[in-house]
Structures are given as C-alpha cells and as structure tokens.
Chain A
Amino acid sequence: MDNLSVDHLIGIKDLTKQDIELIFKTADSFKQVINRPIKKVPSLRDITIANLFFENSTRTRLSFELAEKRLSADTVNFSAASSSVKKGETLIDTVNNILAMKVDLVVMRHPNPGAAKFLSERIDARVVNAGDGTHEHPTQALLDAYSIREKHGEDFKGKKVVIVGDISHSRVALSNIFCLQKLGAEVMVCGPTTLIPKHINTLGVKVEHNLRKALEWCDVANMLRIQLERQEIKYFPSLREYTMLYGLDKALLDSLDKEITVMHPGPINRGVEISSDVADSEQSIILQQVENGVAIRMAVIYLLAAKINRS
C-alpha cells in the first residue's frame, strides 16, 4: 500500500497504522531535504494552498507555511483577525470565496470542534486540520510520535507515554492518544481530576493523579500547557498550586531512577507546567519537535496532494 487511505487529514482517528507509517517514511526523506544547502523540492509547483487561521497560532502556522514553500506550492494566508469574518461572514462563505480563487488544498485552524470535517464535506479541495477547538490536532500528534520514534526507535510496542496537564481542553492530547495507541504504545494521562475528562477510560488509557508516579511509569512525558483561553470557569485553585502539584522541575526529573524524554507541544509557559532548566535540558526534545514538524507537514501535504486529480 503506497497511498493514504484518506482524502483529507481531519483527525488521527481516521488514519490506519499503515497511513501513519507511510507519513513517517515520507517525512524521513523530507527531513533530509530540509537539511540540505537548498531546502526546496519542486513537487507541488502547480498546487495552491490556502492557510485559514481562525484562531491564533505562531508555530503551527509558520511550520505549515514553511512546509508548503519547501514543496514549491503557492500559498495564500488568511487570519480571522484581519478578515471579513469580523464583518459577519460565515465559515462556508469565506471558504467558498477563497476556493473561487482556485485553491487545491486548505489548511485550517478553527475554534469550533468539527469545523474541519464540516469543511471537507462541503468543498472541492483537500483539507488539513491544523487544530479544531478541543477536538484534534493531527499534525502535532504525528510530529510528536515521529520525534519519539527518532529518539526511541521505530517499534512503539511497550513504549510508555504520559500526557500531563489539561487533558479536557487539549486537542493535542486526544490526537496523541489515538496516534500512540495505533502505533502500539501505552498511554497514560495525568492531571488534576477537574482537567481529566470523565469518560477518558473508554479510550483505553491509564489515569494517574500523582505526577511522580506517572513519571516513574513512563519513558516519555509530554507536558501540556494549561489552556486558560478555553476554560470558562476555574478548574483549580491557583496556577501556583498547579505548578506545585503538576509542574515538572529539575529536582523531580533528577530524582527519578531512569532518564525519561521530555516533550512539549508549545507554547511553553516556563515556570508553570515545566521549569526553564527542564525545558532547556538534554532530556528535552522540544526543539527537535519543531524541526520535525516541518518534515511531517511536508509529508502530509505531499501525500494528500498526490491524490488531487490533475484533470
């Protein structure tokens, strides 16, 4: 099988293990490309991509844009803050207008869960979900798993990954759980009871409320940010208390009897979920994640674009 089983990348839930492995294999080649003197290939010369960001983003947006440019695609950028959305235009109208300008592929971030799926069912272009509310963020999960693969080897069987923090409001957590489980890893979530979804057990993950115990169990810890912008009520007494119970600092990391890998999808709140000395330590692969993000997004776009019929 040399092709993706899906026409759009809406969520990891829709992918097969073979799809994920194909994306990784393709990303290996793109990682070589972006480390050359000339970091560009001409594959997508006749493809136009629209980046629609209805929600703030720095890393993901830059990463997608860089990936598209390194594939030689033409790109148009749109951000809600400076657009007609503010004048009352609906999502489908905004997108139809952009598609009328002959766009082949849409990368979209939107605050509403399901927005990417809604779009993919209504427009004649490939859709890549760059985060839809609290639902999924598939390329982040792919680059996280790819970074784990780089550090710990191709076989995920028996690998233990703990996701720490605001699980309830995190699309990164959900996509990571699907991705890691499909690859055969064991997943645990850790955080205060109020930030762990009630029915998380149905996903087959372990739940732990004690950070030390979670870290002693795992090979890799993925530290998430507290999504204050999505929390309409207070879920814990204070940030200071959260940091004391769920913040990862060097003393805690050094007190473990094994060396674990520390990840963070960014943006980091230094001194809250992760201390500066941990974020900058040898065990942290945060910047490798960013580098791998470009390669993974090149692979996803390349493989989806390959399915766009020329005629």
Chain B
Amino acid sequence: MEKRTILNSKHLEITLRRLASQLKENHQDFTNTVLIGLQPKGIFVLERIKEILEADLNQELTCGQLDITFYRDDFRRREQPLIPSVTNIDFIIEDKKVVLIDDVLYTGRSIRSGLEALLAFGRPKQVELMILVDRQFERHLPIQADYIGKTVNTLTSQVVLVEWKQNEGQDQVYLVNQEDKNG
C-alpha cells in the first residue's frame, strides 16, 4: 500500500499549536466565541485545539459537537443510510462568533450541511471555518477555510486520513489511494 505522510506526530502538534495561536489572535479572550466540531472526525481536532487553548488561557471554552447527517445532500443517493452521531450543543449560538472545526476540507459539501445544521441553533453573529487539511482544487462548492493547518494537492482517487493517538495509537496525517483504503 502506497502511503505518503503529510504530517507526522511532531509536525501535527506544531500545526495544531499554530492554529490555536491564530484563533487566539482573532478572538482574544473568547468571551463571545464558541468552538464547534463537526461529527464524526472534526471533534478530535476540536478536542486538541481546546486542550491547547484552555491550558494557555487558563479558562474553560464553550465547545460543542454538531452532527450533520440529516442535513447532507446525498440522502437517497447512497447505498447505505448514514448512521447519525451525537449532537451536543447545550448553549445558545445566537449572536455568537462560531468557529466550525473539521479535519479535512474536500468538496465543501459537509461544510455546507454543517452551516445549515448550525442555523437550527440560532443566528450566529459570524461563522469561521478551521480545517486541519485542505485538499486544494477539489471543491464542488464555493467554500474556503479561514484557518488552514496544511494545504495539499491530491487526486480524486486519493484519500486523506487523519489518525489520532487515542484512536489509532499515533498522531499522523497521510495520503493513500482509494482502492488501498477500501481493499
């Protein structure tokens, strides 16, 4: 299996710290800011960013998890229905600055669904997007991220996989061919 590492564990840590710093630069004390991770994989990025920022600022941040299953645009176009994950937003997002967080930005369709799902919780003042890996030139929709960990050029036949030490044993981001992933 051909596997190309995009970010190794050390590099990933540096990237996450840079993203956290950029957030801090724009949101300062986070009084009116909430961080929302997209289910299922964005929440791992959120957890790490939260960990770094909370240690740094010495305060608790308002964070939530958003599931987009019922807002996707490929319902009835898939072989198998998607099983929803948990949505956990127990705060009002009305007039808040929201930072949506996901691991990989590819076609932009998940983010579009995420924006729609988000509006069920109120009208935010502003929504920004943080992405760990941006697959450039692959967008189906006019959606761009405000905070980008790493930009990569990929083929449609390739998949970006993000692994975390608590799940797969080590932190890393790598690129594989679609058939290798399925096979």
Contacts and interface: CB of A to CB of B under 8 A. Distances in A.
Interface of A: 2-3, 22, 25-26, 29, 32-33, 36-38, 40-44, 46, 71, 302-303, 305-310
Given A36-B121, A308-B76, A310-B77, A42 B70 contact: yes
Given A2-B83, A29-B67, A43-B70, A306 B76 contact: yes
Interface residue SS majority, chain B: loop
B71 A41 contact: yes
Taking chain A's interface residues, is the majority helix, strand, or loop, or is none over half, making it mixed? loop
Interface of B: 67, 69-72, 75-78, 80-87, 116, 119-122
Q: Which of B67, B72, B78, B81 lies at the interface centre, i.e. has the most chain A CB atoms within 10 A of its CB? A: B81
B122 A37 contact: yes
Given A2-B81, A306-B76, A310-B76, A29 B122 contact: no
Contacts, number: 57
Contacts of A33: 70, 120
Nearest to B80: A2
A295 to B, nearest CB: 12
B70 A29 contact: yes
A38 B120 contact: yes
Contacts of A29: 67, 69-70, 84-87
Contacts of B71: 41-43
Contacts of A32: 86-87
A41 B70 contact: yes
A44 B72 CA distance: 11
B80 A3 contact: yes
B81 A306 contact: yes
Contacts of B77: 310
A310 B74 CA distance: 11
B75 A306 contact: yes
A26 B83 contact: yes
17 contacts: A2-B82, A22-B83, A25-B83, A29-B86, A29-B87, A33-B120, A36-B121, A37-B120, A38-B120, A38-B121, A42-B71, A46-B76, A303-B81, A305-B75, A305-B76, A306-B75, A310-B77
A3 B121 contact: no
